Amino acid sequence: MAFVSIRDLRKSYGETETLHGLNLAFDEGEFVVIVGPSGCGKSTLLRMIAGLESVTAGEIAIGGEVVNDYDPADRGCAMVFQNYALYPHMTVAQNIGYPLKLAKVPRAEREQRVRAAAEVLGLTDYLDRRPKQLSGGQRQRVAMGRAIVRQPGLFLFDEPLSNLDAKMRVQMRIEIRRLHRRLKATSVLVTHDQVEAMTMADRLVVMNGGRIEQIGSPSEIYARPASTFVAGFLGAPAMNLIPARSDEGGAIRPDVAPGTALPSSLPLPPGKPFILGVRPEDLSVLPSDRPGLAARIDLIEDLGGMRVAHCQIPEGYASAVLTRDDMVREGMPVSLRPDPERMHAFSAQTGKRFSHERAATGSMKEEAGLFMQSA
C-alpha cells in the first residue's frame, strides 16, 4: 500500500479553484519531487499534506490514515521551509531541540538527540550560535536538523534551496540526497528548478495550472514527456517544439518550411497537424547544403562542457547542442536535422503526447500518460 495517497484533492479560495482534483500516491522511502512553474499549486499541495492549508475536497492519507482533519503536528511529518523559518531568539541547539521540548522529551534524551542530529548535519560547532550568526547553508542545515530530530515518517521540503547561492545549492542538493539515503524517510520536495527536480527525484511529479501533468522517474519523463508543457519545462535547453505535418511518404514537413521533408520513424497518419518535439541534443547542425531545416545560427552559448547553438528558423528559434566537431560560428547558415529515431509528437490541439503504438494504427489517440491522473 502507498505510504502517502492523495485522492481527488481539491483546493479553492472562495470561488477560485487552485487544485483541480489531484490523485497521487507514493511509497515509503521514496524521494518525490513536485516541480512546476510558480503558481501551479505545488506549494499549496505540500502545505495541504503538512496540514497548514485546509482541504476543500478529497482526501490525504499518510500511513494508511486519512489526516484531513489532523493538526500539522499530529501528521507525523516535518517541514523545511524556504526561508528556513528558524526561531531567531533561540540558539541552534534550542532550535533543533524545540520540537522535543514541546513533546516533553526529558532533557538528557533531548540533548543527546540534538547532538546526534547536529553530528549528522555537521553543526556540532555551531550549537551555541543564533541563526543570524550563521550562513544560508548553515541555517538550512539547522532547519533540517529541526526536522530530523523528531524522526518523522515524512519529510516535506518547500523550495529549500531557492534562497542559497548557486554553489551552495548544488552542495545542499547532494547533502539532502545523502541524508535521505541515510534516514530512508519518505520525502516530498517542492521546487520550480528543473535541474533540482531531475537530480533529486526518485519520482517526479510535474504540475501545471493546478493539475498533475505527469508522474514518473526523471529519466522516464525526460524520455517520454506526456505533453508539450512537460517537454518544454524539463530539460535545459528546452525541447524544440515545431508545428508540423506528416506526408504520404512518412516524412515530416514543418509548417514553417513545407518544402522540407525530415525523415522520421514516427508512424503518423499523413496530413494531420501535430507538434514535433526534438531535444536539442537530438538535433544535428549540418552544413547548409545538406538536407534539413534551413536555419541561421543566431547565438552560440559556450557552457564549458557543451556548446548550444540558438538557430533562427523561418518562424522562431530552435536550439541544438553542438558536438566538438561542429565547426560553426554565429551568423552561419546551417541545416538542422532531427534524429529520426528520437522524435516526439504531440497533439496540436491539446498538447498531449501521441503514443507511437496507437498512432501507428492510424487512430492518433493521445497517450494516457504513464501514471497519468484521472482528471
Partner 1 sequence: MMTDAAKLSPMRTRRAPALASWDTAVGHALMIFVSLLCVFPIYWMIVTSLRPSNAIFSTNLWPDAASLDNYAYALQAVPMTRMLTNTFLVSLAVTLVQLLTGILAGYAFARWRFRGSAILFGAIALTWLVPLQVVMIPNYLLVARLGMIDTLGALILPHIASAFAIMLLAQSMRSFPTEVVEAARMDGATHWEILWQVIVPNLRGTIASLAILIFITTWNEYFWPLLLTRSTENSVVQIGLQMFISSEGTQWGPLMAASTMASLPILLIYLLLQRQVIASFMKSGLR
**Nearest distance in Å: CB 162, partner 1:** 13
Q: CB-based contacts of 97: which residues, under 8 Å, 6+ apart?
A: 110, 111, 113, 114, 149
Only one of the segments 10-18, 80-88, 161-169, 335-343 lies at the binding site for partner 1 (rule: CB under 8 A); that segment is: 80-88
Q: How far is CA 234 from CA 53, 223, 308, 368, 375, in A?
A: 28, 10, 16, 19, 22
Of 66, 73, 236, 375, which one interacts with partner 1 (CB under 8 A)?
73
Does 88 participate in binding partner 1 (rule CB under 8 A)?
yes
Q: Which is nearer to partner 1, 67 or 285 (CB)?
A: 67
* Residue 346 in contact with partner 1, rule: CB under 8 A: no
Of 11, 19, 34, 99, which one interacts with partner 1 (CB under 8 A)? 99
Q: 518535439: which residue's cell?
A: 277
Q: At 68, list the grid cell.
A: 484531513
Residue with cell 547532538: 115
Q: Is 98 in the site for partner 1 (CB under 8 A)?
A: yes
Asked if residue 345 binds partner 1 (CB under 8 A), the reply is no
One-letter amino acid at 364 equals M
Q: Could you say which of 18, 23, 27, 81 contacts partner 1 (CB under 8 A)?
A: 81
**Helices assigned H by DSSP within the chain:** 42-50, 92-102, 107-121, 136-148, 166-183, 194-200, 218-223, 228-233, 356-360
Q: Is 370 in the site for partner 1 (CB under 8 A)?
A: no
* Residue 266 near partner 1 by CB under 8 A: no
Binding status of residue 56 toward partner 1 by CB under 8 A: no
Is 86 among the residues that bind partner 1 (CB under 8 A)? yes
Cα distances (angstroms) measured from residue 62 to each of 6, 25, 225, 226: 9, 10, 29, 28
- The residue from 69, 71, 289, 325 that contacts partner 1 (CB under 8 A) is 71
Q: Does 113 bind partner 1 (CB under 8 A)?
A: no
Judged by CB under 8 A, the residue of 56, 68, 82, 171 near partner 1 is 82
Q: Which stretch binds partner 1 (CB under 8 A): 86-94, 241-249, 254-262, 352-360?
A: 86-94
Least separation in angstroms between residue 87's CB and partner 1 is 6
Cell of 270: 499523413
Strand partners, 78: 155
**Piece of the chain touching partner 1 by CB under 8 A; list 16-24, 44-52, 262-270, 293-301:** 44-52
Q: Which residue has the cell 497548514?
A: 52
**Residue 102 binds to partner 1 (criterion: CB under 8 A):** yes
Question: In this structure, are residues 263 and 340 in contact, taking their beta carbons and an 8 Å threshold?
Answer: yes
Quick count: other Cβ atoms within 10 Å of Cβ 174? 12
Q: Is residue 163 part of the contact set for partner 1 (CB under 8 A)?
A: no
Kindly determine how many residues on this chain lie close enough to bind partner 1 according to the rule CB under 8 A: 24
Q: Give the count of alpha carbons within 13 A of 133, CB side only.
A: 11
**Rounded least distance, CB 18 to partner 1, Å:** 18
Answer for the pair 211, 20: CB distance below 8 angstroms, yes or no: yes
Contacts with partner 1 by CB under 8 A lie at 50-52, 71-73, 77-79, 81-83, 85-89, 98-99, 102-103, 143, 146, 150
